[in-house]
Chain A
Amino acid sequence: EVQLIQSGAEVRKPGATVKISCKVSGYTFTDYYIHWVQQAPGKGLEWMGLVDPEDGVPIYAEKFQGRVSLTADTSTDTAYMELSSLRSEDTAVYYCATLQLRNWGQGTLVAVSS
């Protein structure tokens, strides 16, 4: 069974950086990209980007380019999303997903507040 387990909720101040993790199991980690999706409170889903665990190469949505870093650790089958220069608008649930966005993690709430 494919599973994606994300790290717990985070609270950060504006300007800070947050890094959340997504540990996968049930398939070969390097076979599929890991995607990250943002959902602000009461809003829709927004694709942030993906990372290819095979070679670590990321692709970012234009909106997040320059502030997000997506990485993958093949030794632990874990993907990471780091978002910097946080602002209140980044308060959201962040999801990881794989198998062409078919299997999703449970989501991680990031709250940005002074």
Chain B
Amino acid sequence: QTVVTQEPSFSVSPGGTVTLTCGLSSGSVSTSDYPTWYQQTPGQAPRTLIYSTNTRSSGVPDRFSGSILGNKAALTITGAQADDESDYYCVLYMGSGIWVFGGGTKLAVL
């Protein structure tokens, strides 16, 4: 079974730029996998940041951007702020109606 991989943790300085990635245990991520990114804080439902690789959800600041970098999907946060400290998840479409989430990245802003 294909596993979706994410960095378990990452840190960024306030005002800095960080890129989180979302890969596959075998193969490359493409736009056909419809990479979607979420931000989640404790006790809250996930908030959709980016869908279909690089489309920002309504109300999401433009310092969040999505792309394909090499063989992975990527979420870049430019000008990180303290309240960006959250868990970030990606999900990929595997075909035949199946979706798989990555394990999530805990982002610290410090």
Residues of A whose CB lies within 8 Å of any CB of B are: 33, 35, 37, 44-47, 50, 59, 61-62, 95, 100-107
* Interface residues on chain B, size class: 20 to 34
Distance, CA A44 to CA B34, complexed state (A): 19
Tell which of B51, B102, B103 touches A102, judged by Cβ atoms closer than 8 Å.
B51
**Number of inter-chain CB pairs below 8 Å:** 51
Is A59 within 8 A of B1, CB to CB? Answer: no
Residues of B whose CB lies within 8 Å of any CB of A are: 1, 34, 36, 38, 40, 45-46, 48, 51-52, 57, 87, 89, 91, 96-104
| With contact pairs A59-B97, A62-B1, A106-B45 given, residues A101 and B36 touching in the complex (Cβ less than 8 Å) | yes
Chain A neighbourhood of B89, CB < 8 A: 44-45
Chain A neighbourhood of B87, CB < 8 A: 44
Known interface pairs A102-B57, A104-B48; 20 further A-B residue pairs with C-beta atoms within 8 A, sorted by A's residue number: A35-B99, A37-B101, A44-B87, A44-B101, A44-B102, A44-B103, A44-B104, A45-B38, A45-B40, A45-B46, A45-B104, A47-B98, A50-B99, A61-B98, A95-B46, A100-B36, A101-B48, A101-B51, A104-B45, A104-B46
The winner among A33, A45, A59, A104 for most chain B CB atoms within 10 A is A45
CB of B87 to closest CB in A, whole Å = 8
